[in-house]
Structure 1
Amino acid sequence: MLLIATLLTAIVIAIHVYIVLIETVLFRTRGRKVFGIKEDRVDALAPLMSNQGCYNGFLVASLAVGLLHPNPAIGRAFAVFGLVCVAVAGVWGAATVSRRILFVQTVPAALALAAWLAA
């Protein structure tokens, strides 16, 4: 089960690295298309999205520490914390922005969290 937890967490990391990129460096091109933002709103929203991307970067950092920390107990704590944060943020995003966020963020995080708790 530990291998499954690790793999699912790595998938959540990959999803969030992509999110960080489209909310920051790729926002004016790919991000605008992904989020369905009209071109005339991009300049106004770019700073907000960059800030949001920064927070998603912190989630990636927590999960990466969870997988890479040499002490398994500390690594597990970081992974569980990061996954709970991703799941909660996904629920909030689904409630306030788009239901799609529930499936993109919350479901993978919840599966990984369940695997960690079962490991």
Structure 2
Amino acid sequence: MISTILITLIGLLHVYILVVEMFLWDKPYGLKAFRNTPEKAKITKVMAQNQGLYNGFLAAGLFWSLLANPLYSTVLANFFLACIFIAGIYGGLTANRKIIFIQAVPALITLLLVNIGY
């Protein structure tokens, strides 16, 4: 039950990231969220939209794990949570350290809970 709630929350977080990166990147909210300037946002908009799409795929995978046959749900959850964890570590080391705490740590905690049966 706890892992289901956490998977849902992490999936929703990645939907939120999709929306900000794909649709709000160069708008005031997106500029503030990513501490961007309008000039930099204009140059990086297509890249951000691509990143947003990938975040959407991660969210879709997590939601799929919640709806899948129980035989496959844990494997799917493990795969997508591991992808999010790795992306969070990489993003934290290369872009912004807070990504580790926003993305990688919740994914790791959820991975552990999924695998001990919570």
Q: TM-score, normalised by structure 2?
A: 0.94
Deviation at 1:77, TM superposition (A): 1.1
Q: Percent identity?
A: 36
Which amino acid in 1 is paired with 2:60? A
Corresponding residue for 1:77?
A: 75
Q: Is 1:91 aligned to residue 85 of structure 2?
A: no
Q: Is 1:32 aligned to residue 31 of structure 2?
A: yes
1:8-47 superposed Cα distances (whole Å, 9 cap, x missing partner): 1111111111111110011121222111111112211110
Q: Is 1:17 aligned to residue 11 of structure 2?
A: no
Corresponding residue for 1:109?
A: 107
Corresponding residue for 1:7?
A: 5
Measure the CA separation in 2 of the matches of 1:11 and 1:112.
Answer: 10
1:70-112 superposed Cα distances (whole Å, 9 cap, x missing partner): x112121111100000000000000001110000001111111
Aligned residue-pair number:
116
**4+ runs of 1 displaced by more than 6 Å?**
none
Which amino acid in 2 is paired with 1:33? K
Flag structure 1 segments of 5+ consecutive residues without an equivalent. none
Greater RCO structure (CA 8 Å; 6+ sep): 1
Matches within 5 A, 1:43-82: 43-69=42-68, 71-82=69-80
Measure the CA separation in 2 of the matches of 1:46 and 1:7.
Answer: 32
Deviation at 1:52, TM superposition (A): 0.5
Q: TM-score, normalised by structure 1?
A: 0.94
